[in-house]
Amino acid sequence: MRLKKSSCVLMWNVLCIHIDRRLALLLVVVRGPHRSQNRKTHGNWCSAMGKTKEKPKKARSRTRGGLSPDKYLAKPQQRKLLSFVKAQADLARARGSKRAIVDELICLLLIEAGLRADEVCCLRLRDLPVCHGKDSVWIDNGKGSVSRTVEIPRRLAKLIRRFCKSCRGKASPEDHLFVSSKGKPLCYMTLYQKIRRIGEKSGIGKLYPHMLRHTYATRLYAVEKDLLFVSDQLGHSNVTTTQIYAKTDSESRRKQVEKIAGQ
């Protein structure tokens, strides 16, 4: 019985597909799956074929002692930073410009109040001494959806009132403290670039917002060594997180080291 031409063509196509699949499987066995298709599949194939050995997982390194020296400012660096931003702000006031005045207040909120960068960006006038009359800053819905009161020096409270009067005189209590030239709230990247530029111009070098927060925490703990107060000021959910500042730039530890130097 002779098959029709269409049936022969159909059988031939099925045979070709079957052969193509066999060849594809053979190619996978010889060369392995393509890396770009599935990295996990490729890795499993390599292990099964004995092509590579799995790399042992590196143990997570642990840190003992305090912060690494490049994560906070030493006292001479602190004085250098504060004198630089004050000089620039005074010059801006004399010229009638605002940029350096904004930079000064941002730096002080980071290094003398220990605020996070995004908390500085989210500050509204209602959260500040100019509205509630207290020498403190209210952080509404901070990290972890936690609100808190941050006590600030009287000098900083006075500077905030002065800034609001001269630069945000027409703003309402619901308005943000720092805004762009277009009236939008200050964003994190703009703040980050400001601090980085201040570090370069002041001669300090590498500087970023969280470095100033670390510096604040280290300075604050050194005053009364009250770890719970430092934890509350920083907004830490667990005091264990704050313990690293008790081991950073410690005068008592330095005294012990200096004593053996003269022996």
Q: What is the mean pLDDT of the chain?
A: 85
221 counts as catalytic: no
**What pLDDT, on a 0 to 100 scale, did the predictor assign at position 29?**
47
- One DSSP character per residue, 133-157 reads -SSEEEE-S-GGG--EEEE--HHHH
Q: Is the pLDDT of residue 168 over 80?
A: yes
150 or 263: which leads in pLDDT: 150
Residue 19 lies in a domain: no
In the chain the first and final C-alpha atoms are separated, in Å, by: 112
| 63-77, 142-156, 159-173, 222-236: the lowest-pLDDT one | 63-77
**Running DSSP on this structure, what letter comes out for residue 52?**
S
Q: What is the CATH number of the domain that holds 164?
A: 1.10.443.10
pLDDT in tens, 28-68: 444 444 544 455 455 554 555 555 555 566 666 677 778 99
Of 168, 213, 214, 219, the active-site residue reads 213
Count: domains in the chain = 1
98 counts as catalytic: no
Residue 67 lies in a domain: no
Q: Is the pLDDT of residue 5 over 60?
A: no
Is the four-CA dihedral 45, 49, 51, 54 of positive or negative sign? positive
User: Tokens representing 185?
Assistant: 């709230």
**Is-contact 226 214, C-beta < 8 A?**
no
Give the mean pLDDT of 201-221.
97
Residue 205 lies in a domain: yes
Of 126, 132, 143, 148, the active-site residue reads 143
Of 116, 168, 214, 219, the active-site residue reads 116
pTM of the predicted protein model: 0.76
213 counts as catalytic: yes
From the list 223, 214, 224, the residue with the least C-alpha distance to 245 is: 214
219 or 250: which leads in pLDDT: 219
208 counts as catalytic: no
18 counts as catalytic: no
Query: What 3-state DSSP class applies to 137?
Result: strand
Of 194, 214, 219, 236, the active-site residue reads 236
CB-based contacts of 92, cutoff 8 Å, min separation 6: 98, 99, 100, 101
Residue 255 lies in a domain: no
225 counts as catalytic: no
Residue 55 lies in a domain: no
**What pLDDT, on a 0 to 100 scale, did the predictor assign at position 157?**
97
**What pLDDT, on a 0 to 100 scale, did the predictor assign at position 30?**
46
**What pLDDT, on a 0 to 100 scale, did the predictor assign at position 35?**
46
Residue 192 lies in a domain: yes
pLDDT in tens, 87-141: 999 999 999 999 999 999 999 999 999 999 999 999 999 999 999 999 999 999 8
Residue 93 lies in a domain: yes
Of 42, 86, 210, 247, the active-site residue reads 210
Residue 97 lies in a domain: yes
Q: What residue numbers bound the domain in which 193 lies? A: 73-249
> 256 falls in which pLDDT band (50, 70, 90)?
confident
**What pLDDT, on a 0 to 100 scale, did the predictor assign at position 74?**
95
